[in-house]
């Protein structure tokens, strides 16, 4: 998983340690919000992703703030707002979060395929607007 995280971090322009936590949080969020079958298939297809989810799944906290207002404006749900707030609290800005999300989804597509990843992304309200 370290190689995958390093690639995502480099492409997103952030440090690998922050990328590791953020990817774990994002995948944990998807595990909670998306249908079990497709999201399990997606996470299982990415080497080491299950370990990241286990390590960082509980990191998400509730929140609103500026990101909450932005997400409310586009109609996204509270879970996505809380994830964004947690990622911002980890030191990421909105541009870095968007870039990290795109790279994480691109990596998921490489390992799990477009059909599975599209099903996961399309099942979470508001998520596709950030990818």
- Predicted confidence (pLDDT) per residue in 47-67, tens digit: 999 999 999 876 544 444 444
Quote the pTM value: 0.83
How many CB atoms within 10 Å of residue 99?
Answer: 17
Structure confidence at residue 129 (pLDDT): 82
Structure confidence at residue 71 (pLDDT): 43
Structure confidence at residue 78 (pLDDT): 58
- pLDDT under 50: residue ranges of the chain: 60-77
Structure confidence at residue 127 (pLDDT): 87
Q: Does residue 29 contact residue 77 with C-beta atoms inside 8 Å?
A: no
Contacts of 18 (CB under 8 A, 6+ apart): 9, 90, 91, 92
């Amino acid at each position: 998983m370290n190689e995958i995280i390093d690639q995502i971090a480099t492409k997103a322009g952030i440090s690998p340690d922050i990328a590791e936590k953020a990817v774990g949080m994002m995948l944990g969020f998807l595990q909670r919000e998306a249908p079990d079958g497709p999201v399990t298939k997606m996470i299982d297809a990415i080497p080491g992703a299950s370990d990241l989810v286990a390590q960082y799944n509980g990191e998400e906290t509730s929140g609103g703030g500026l990101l909450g207002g932005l997400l409310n404006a586009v109609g996204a749900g509270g879970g996505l707002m809380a994830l964004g707030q947690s990622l911002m609290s980890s030191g990421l800005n909105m541009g870095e979060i968007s870039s990290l999300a795109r790279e994480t989804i691109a990596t998921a597509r490489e390992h799990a395929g477009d059909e599975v990843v599209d099903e996961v992304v399309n099942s979470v309200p508001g998520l596709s607007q950030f990818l």
